[in-house]
Structure 1
């Protein structure tokens, strides 16, 4: 492939207001996601929530996939009751994005999970989540992972030597933009931890076969394009594959 690869990006489903409309159910995506894809050399395609059984056909038409950040993943998907501070309000999105992830894994489609996207990747692979990180690392340390209201925080992460992420980010530590109160607990099958928070050891990145990368931070909110460019380059080189079967890719294994 010599043209700019097409990168699908999952989207939010929320009420929004504009013009004369005070409240309209809408498909939304922060503009920095498509800007990141474009700056990295790809063409961005927004993917609104759809029926999970359509995921394999959608992924078959993409060169790469970004699963965006957003609401907490429903803890029922990894067999837990919700924490009092868990806000899981995106059931349709959970199932749609889980199906997209399974389809991408089955087809070998390059995949980048961002924040919630990394967490859902871990859940789809059989892992679980820390539902409120300050319960584990303490309130003060937990604030390093969450910015002020309406702002992203920043903290250092340490890539794990020998991983794909360490090849992309060879520094001993990298300061990243971040906003999350949940994190990986039990690691999903087939995934490897590829970065930890420098100060408290929170899992900050995972990776799997091929180009399957999840980062807990928000690269779209920074200026470092290395991870996004690696996704686009992998998408440019990836061979076209046939759609995965429903048994392989469509329904999440919850």
Structure 2
């Protein structure tokens, strides 16, 4: 059985005397790679070189777009106003945009996680809520106060969706580490999960082989459904 090569986008940080390096550096949490390996894939971290996107795509069989403590520039979804909480990492976003766009054109399996789901949504023509509490007045603490390896809230999974077919459940317990969220449901995109406060928590594209985004972090394996998401993504990447 083929072991699919899975590209995983990394985070990047500026160097400082107190950091890992005095020079700019990449970062990837171990459990992103571990979740891919556990599900039967071969993880390959991807440095942020936008001009090499097509060469990376020629190599890999599936793409994981990870999260991070930053945001997609609102200009990318047509917003001129920028909330004062917004932080961008422009080179990372340019690279991830090129990778997602190329993967969509090739119908390569894509799994977008947290901020990776938000980027995927924008590439697909969608918009984001720049700061959840501004739109959802009685919202849950989506930047959960408890540790990220614990559940923060539940999500309702929409029946008939790819996500529901994968997890086989109407509700999942998930972790939560975000202040932005998907705002709309553009043509071709289906919302597949919703939090109890109605914040949108998952997207998918039915016309694609496997194009799934979730607002939580399934690499932590909070519930069995998280493991099933990675297993289904790896299986789709085998062919």
TM-score by length of 1: 0.85
What CA deviation, in whole Å up to 9, does each residue of 1:27-58 have, x standing for no partner? 1111110011011111100001112x321221
Q: Tell me if 1:210 matches 2:209.
A: yes
Structure 2: tracts of 5 or more residues without a match: none
User: Displacement, 1:221?
Assistant: 1.9
Match of 2:219 in 1: 220
CA distance in 2, matches of 1:164, 1:21: 40
1:148 to 137, 142, 145: 145
Match of 1:244 in 2: none
* Larger strand share, 1 or 2: 1
1:177 to 165, 168, 175: 175
Q: Is the 8 A contact 2:132 2:139 kept in 1?
A: no
1:56 to 54, 57, 62: 54
Match of 1:233 in 2: 235
Match of 1:242 in 2: none
Q: Is the 8 A contact 1:112 1:214 kept in 2?
A: yes
Match of 2:3 in 1: 4
Q: Is the 8 A contact 1:133 1:142 kept in 2?
A: no
User: Displacement, 1:186?
Assistant: 2.6
Quickly say closer, same or farther: Cα 1:42–1:142, change in 2 above 3 A.
Answer: same
User: Displacement, 1:59?
Assistant: 1.1
Aligned CA RMSD, in angstroms, stands at: 2.0
TM-score by length of 2: 0.90
Q: Tell me if 1:201 matches 2:198.
A: yes
Q: Is the 8 A contact 1:17 1:24 kept in 2?
A: yes
**3-state secondary structure, aligned to 1:58:** helix
User: Displacement, 1:125?
Assistant: 1.1
User: Displacement, 1:141?
Assistant: 2.3
What CA deviation, in whole Å up to 9, does each residue of 1:79-110 have, x standing for no partner? 2121111122x001111101100111000110
User: Displacement, 1:17?
Assistant: 7.0
CA distance in 1, matches of 2:64, 2:36: 9
**3-state secondary structure, aligned to 1:118:** helix
Quickly say closer, same or farther: Cα 1:179–1:158, change in 2 above 3 A.
Answer: same
Q: Is the 8 A contact 1:177 1:222 kept in 2?
A: no
**3-state secondary structure, aligned to 1:23:** coil
Q: Is the 8 A contact 2:146 2:152 kept in 1?
A: no
Q: Is the 8 A contact 1:159 1:170 kept in 2?
A: no
Match of 1:251 in 2: none
Q: Is the 8 A contact 2:140 2:197 kept in 1?
A: no
Q: Tell me if 1:72 matches 2:71.
A: yes
Q: Is the 8 A contact 2:153 2:176 kept in 1?
A: yes
Aligned length: 231
Structure 1: tracts of 5 or more residues without a match: 239-254
CA distance in 2, matches of 1:12, 1:20: 14
